Amino acid sequence: MFGEVPIEVIQEIEELCNAVPQLTEDYQIIDKIGEGTFSSVYKAKDIKGRITSRYKDYFWKVSLKDEEDAGPYVALKRIYVTSSPQRIYNELNLLYILSGNHTVAPICDAIRSNDQIIAVLPWYPHEEFRTFYRDLPIKGIKKCIFELLQALKFVHEKGIMHRDVKPTNFLYNPSLGKGVLVDFGLAELEPERIHESDELQHSKDLRSWESYCPCGTKSDVPQSANLITIQNGKVIYNGKNQSAVTGTGAKNILDLTKGYPKNETRRSKRANRAGTRGFRAPEVLMKCSQQTTKIDIWSVGVILLSFLARRFPMFQSLDDTDSLLEMCCIFGTKAMKKTAQLHGLGLEIEGLEEITEDGIPNGLKGYVKQLLGSECEIATFPHYSVAFETLDFLNKMDRQITPSLSSGSTISGACSSEEDNGGDGEVVDLEKERLLRVYCERVWDDHFWCFDVLEKCFEMDPKKRSSAEELLQHLLFSELTEKYEYNENHDEVLNLGSQESV
């Protein structure tokens, strides 16, 4: 039954079946396929076909090696008992709201047994991101991001922020060119923005500071007295509470590893900072209380950057301070200070010579070029790697900074056959040469527009950052059209049957 499943996983499955005995009536658990902070996910057979019979074959398409197995599969998500009832309700309710679109995994069933909660979802054949992100060609990258944006467009239209967009939460099948957004454990409804009058905006009422962020106002934002200063990797406070920190001359350094000042009197901002390290937008790190669905677009940018640079994980920060430093390295302190001011904060960085005011030369293109170049120096890419197409684009972009919508002379010259067209009457295959030229031009165009999308995803001001709907209208995706099958019966997904209601 379990094949090569580790013994500890078998024991865990047996424990789950004992805790929720009604599971074995409808499902045969095969393996554990995922685990997170708040849940574990198992692959199981829908023995009676009670759930899967309601959906089209797309959801239950299996790989060739599984065709001999009887019955389609489902994913059983076991939500840990340590999760609060409100959190469990929120996730199940959002899954129900989002049912009806094939880009988002719908909830098919929900089972409760004492303190155990099981959500039944479709199982999707997909590949782990680590197995294909270094080899996926630019057109494959474009299709993957297109699928992800389609899912986010649907989610955001419902007023929902996913908050945890990352490769492991977007199940993508490169062979099918299809992907599904999963795991709404951190998702929440987008809060309504309340535009206060100018008089209230500048109110000094400290009671409102904890949930106030000036980025939601239309007036100029003054720099706040709340100054974030990073010196040699440590945060510095210039507050009045001298006894709470270690004095070092005119400034006071606070080592965050030793906790917070005991006598700190300033009110700290409060905001939801949930998400995965390395994928959180700057407004999340800066505790903005006016967070919107644009935080998910920043995460899309991180995924796209991982594709282009062929590096994952892209950012490996251990805390918020490291995350801010990583952003400063790429985008520069000038842009980060402006971003901090937008959210009513000040930002100063000292003692780190590698961090400059303008960031990495040539911005994101320069950063990707550095990363790819460093790998080429140690020969980690095979000679046939598609990463060389990206590096070739970056090396030649100084000679041609526009897409090849016209002559494309630079690209054509680079792709033309080096053979002498004269000679002993040999016929040169002009058609192959033409196709090669067309391919090179399209690869160039895709890279050109791909980096443009990347810039739009990494816009620091969330109000100026493009939405999923806007990005789908970008020239990068002009050749892609929506050809998904739509099942009108997807709304009928929450069927608790005879089981106890959650």
Residue 409 has pLDDT above 50, yes or no: no
Q: Is 345 helix (H, G, I), strand (E, B) or coil?
A: coil
Q: What is the pLDDT of residues 306-331, one digit of tens each?
A: 999 999 999 988 888 889 999 999 99
Residue 458 has pLDDT above 50, yes or no: yes
Distance CA 256, CA 235 (A): 7
Residue 491 has pLDDT above 50, yes or no: no
DSSP 81: T
Residue 498 has pLDDT above 90, yes or no: no
Query: Is residue 164 annotated as a catalytic residue, yes or no?
Result: yes
Q: Which amino acid is at 71?
A: G
pTM of the model: 0.80
Q: Is 416 helix (H, G, I), strand (E, B) or coil?
A: coil
Q: What is the pLDDT of residue 299?
A: 98
The answer to whether residues 297 and 470 touch, using CB atoms and an 8 Å cutoff, is no
- What topology is assigned to 1-125 in CATH? Phosphorylase Kinase; domain 1 (3.30.200)
Q: Which of 26, 109, 164, 296 is catalytic?
A: 164
Q: What is the pLDDT of residue 431?
A: 77
**Mean pLDDT value of segment 48-73:** 60
345 confidence band (pLDDT: 50, 70, 90): confident
**Mean pLDDT value of segment 251-271:** 48
Torsion of CA 269, 258, 313, 391, to 10 degrees: 90
Q: Where are the domains of the chain?
A: 1-125
Query: Which segment of 43-52, 116-125, 212-221, 255-264 scores lowest on mean pLDDT?
Result: 255-264
Q: What is the pLDDT of residue 256?
A: 39
- Helix 320-331 to helix 333-342 angle (10° resolution) is 120
- Strongest mean pLDDT among 45-49, 233-237, 337-341: 337-341
Residue 305 has pLDDT above 80, yes or no: yes
Q: What is the pLDDT of residues 81-94, one digit of tens each?
A: 888 888 899 999 99
| pLDDT over 70 percentage in the chain | 69
Residue 19 has pLDDT above 50, yes or no: yes
